[in-house]
Structure 1
Amino acid sequence: MSSIRPLIPLLIAAGILLGGNGLQGTLIALRGAQEGFSAPVIGLMGTFYFAGFLLGCLAVTRILKAVGHVRTFSALAATASAGTLLLVLVIDPIMWCAVRFAGGFCFAGLFTVMEAWLNSGVTNKDRARVLAIYRMVDIGSVTSAQFLIPIFGAGGFAIFAIMSMMITLSLVPVSLGDRSNPTPPEDVKLDLPRVWRISPLGSIGCIAVGVTNSAFRTLSPVYAEQIGMSVADVVTFVSVGIFGGALIQYPLGYLSDRRDRRSVLLATTCCAMVAALALVFVAGADPFLNFVIVFIFGSFAMPLFSLSAAHANDRADKGEFVLINAALMLFYSFGAV
């Protein structure tokens, strides 16, 4: 695992950046409800986010070829930070949909840059564990950031300023500390049939994860609020599901590095499906039971993207990591939209 050392600045940047993005997803649902936006309108904002995400996946390979990984990361993070402040300056559902579309575009590029960067720096025998660490950083940061909402509240300017600061500060470790910057891709064409042929299972897995995990992140705060949870309980509900995924990421990554990834993917998917059904038909309005079941759901649903991505990147040739990861992000956005 010594291959991860040059990637530590990138992982630090990912933690800061993804915490700000995860906080924004929850805050938009809560603040939107406070401003009188209906649940369908809040859900539509999530759809706009993933529509922008889809467009970002199509554009990021050309941006990377033109300016490289560090400059692409910097430009997209700066744009996302400005959009975060615009949310609180203009309280309007149309504007919020537009900002979420732009945010989706930016974060599609940022995710592609980070994941292609990570995959280019590791070998197949370490790949799932490194991606698991990345997801643990992601989930841990997102979970911790949720608890800023009860501290600062969802109704003021401060929480939006904090989100903007987090996204902006992610530029520091990438700009100053990282020397593992891979070479830009030579091939800028996003060839989805080619990626599908390389890994049909990885492609299908990312589409399925897009359907389930995006719905959870977008509408779980609304669900929790509608069954009578307080703001603190809503944050706990979302965080418990995400935290569950953090705990089992590395064990599943370790297992899939040593066994057939397809078998691990199948078992993990089945466990997530059972937990989702239990949340619908068993949990009811009992907060504790909801917390327990969403924890189990998150434990198995959240690692599915890492396992699918590891399966696809195992089959990538040198120079194909940007293509593979941009395509996987695009497949994910197909499911999310």
Structure 2
Amino acid sequence: MRRNLLPVLALLTSTLFLFLGNGLQGLLLPVRGSLEGYSNEILGLIGTTWATGFVVGCFVAPNLVRRIGHVRAFAGFGALICLNVLLTGILVDQTAWLILRAVTGFCTAGTCMIIESWLNERATNESRGAIFSFYISITLFGVVGGQMMVPFVDISTPILFMICGILYCLAIIPTAVSRAASPQPLKRVKIDLKGLYHNSPVSFIAILLIGTANGAYGTLAAVFGARAGLPEGTIALMVSITIFAGAIAQFPAGRLSDTMDRRYVLAALSAVGAAAGLALALFQPSGVYAILILVAIYGAASNALYPIAVAHANDHASPEDFVKVSGGLLLLFGIGTIIGPSLGGPVMSWLGPHALFAVTAASHLLVTAYAIFRSRRRAPVPVADRDSYAGSPALAPSLTTPESLLLNPRANENSTDDPSERQAS
């Protein structure tokens, strides 16, 4: 294990600091925005602009990297993220925050794509699985670690913004001084929505709705906590529990989907997520333990849906199309994360903070209904012919890029062409 990870240690260190900053900033802004009296609509749009910038970055950033090189591009993107978070702490203005978050989302996509392509270049067939698993773990613990910094500092001061800037600066250094050879040019992102739908209507619709639910919750969960009067420490714990519960639930749910029709698993998990959301929306529990238990159930169900939907799509696709299909679905998930906060903010203003979970419940109920409907119209793929389930890092809205798919061992196993040629295509 040590021999496999040493060649990419600098890149993984940069990843840790980058996601610590992402986790801290992602929770800090809605909590501080609530303190400043920003409306739910504005706080939702802050998440929408970030997701929009991220999706656009997945298309545009590869061309920028080709022109100036990986190291300079990474340093430039990282410096802009650092500059933006410091300006966010100085310019406490909702219009400025909307613009700065869009730029931050764009630059985050660029830095993630560079790291992921670099890791893929350095990985061998023997080390790919270890590096991929370690990368997913670092992103998970980085986001949660950043979130858990919020309760320990007064959010009314600029200190947390400064800490976030320090983390982003620390993310630049290991990669900037690394002697690792630059990888091949970043993969061009191609998406065929019509082809994706014809391949698997269930996965297409489900991932769009999953992105909507996860985007709404990921952006506005902290706003719900603040509006509901929860302490900052409880808000951070609530968001982190959701992520960890999802990480734990992915694998038993995925293994179950390997033995039965995945659409039934999607329908059942979506129904559980909807039930937890409806309990929060309708009964509006005020007890901390009741809220934490319900959001844990919600997180376990909702965050296990994405990889099962991807596996179902790959069941109906050729093995060599793993990257194409999964990359398109990942971008479709990103589109959903744009829709979710834009919808959740106004609904919360209209019906109250607990109505956030009415939005997630509606999305999950639609997944349940459509999965059951499609199960009556198309026979399941035989178990022997299915793509094997693999966990996914998509536990937070749009924090991975199509480049991460090339790092997945399944991309290497299912591809018949040369990895370097596939990267440059």
1:190 matched to 2:190? The reply is: yes
CA 1:272/1:123 → structure 2, altered by over 3 Å: closer, same or farther? farther
Who is 1:39 aligned against?
40
Worse-matched range after superposition: 41-50 or 231-240: 231-240
Give the TM-score taking structure 2 as reference length: 0.65
- Structure 1 CA distance, aligned partners of 2:203 and 2:115? 18
**Residue correspondences, number:** 332
Give the TM-score taking structure 1 as reference length: 0.80
Retained in 1: the 8 A contact 2:197–2:204?
no
Retained in 1: the 8 A contact 2:28–2:150?
yes
Q: Root-mean-square deviation (CA), in Å?
A: 3.9
Unaligned runs of 5+ in 2: 339-425
CA 1:261/1:81 → structure 2, altered by over 3 Å: closer, same or farther? farther
* Residue pairs, 1:53-202, within 5 angstroms: 53-116=54-117, 121=123, 133-177=134-178, 179=180, 182-185=183-186, 188=188, 190-193=190-193, 196=196, 200=200
* Residue pairs, 1:139-288, within 5 angstroms: 139-177=140-178, 179=180, 182-185=183-186, 188=188, 190-193=190-193, 196=196, 200=200, 204=205, 206-248=207-249, 255=255, 262=262, 266=266, 269-282=270-283, 284-288=285-289
Report the Cα offset of residue 244 of structure 1.
Answer: 2.0
- Structure 1 CA distance, aligned partners of 2:258 and 2:120? 18
Report the Cα offset of residue 259 of structure 1.
Answer: 6.8
- Structure 1 CA distance, aligned partners of 2:73 and 2:311? 23
Retained in 2: the 8 A contact 1:108–1:329?
no
Worse-matched range after superposition: 173-182 or 37-46: 173-182
Retained in 1: the 8 A contact 2:19–2:146?
no
1:52 matched to 2:64? The reply is: no
CA 1:274/1:175 → structure 2, altered by over 3 Å: closer, same or farther? farther
Q: Percent identity?
A: 27
Q: Secondary structure at the match of 1:183?
A: coil
Report the Cα offset of residue 329 of structure 1.
Answer: 4.6
Worse-matched range after superposition: 132-141 or 10-19: 132-141
Retained in 1: the 8 A contact 2:243–2:299?
yes
Retained in 1: the 8 A contact 2:242–2:296?
yes
- Structure 1 CA distance, aligned partners of 2:256 and 2:75? 33
1:23 matched to 2:24? The reply is: yes
- Structure 2 CA distance, aligned partners of 1:51 and 1:274? 29
Report the Cα offset of residue 139 of structure 1.
Answer: 2.5
Unaligned runs of 5+ in 1: none
- Structure 1 CA distance, aligned partners of 2:73 and 2:213? 29
Retained in 1: the 8 A contact 2:74–2:111?
yes
Report the Cα offset of residue 3 of structure 1.
Answer: 9.8
Letter in 2 for 1:211: T
Worse-matched range after superposition: 297-306 or 257-266: 257-266
Worse-matched range after superposition: 3-12 or 294-303: 3-12
For residues 70-110 of structure 1, give each alpha carbon's deviation from its aligned partner in whole angstroms, at most 9, with x where no partner exists: 44433222211110001011111110100011111112233
Report the Cα offset of residue 163 of structure 1.
Answer: 0.5
Retained in 2: the 8 A contact 1:139–1:245?
no
Report the Cα offset of residue 215 of structure 1.
Answer: 1.0
Report the Cα offset of residue 49 of structure 1.
Answer: 1.4
Who is 2:331 aligned against?
330
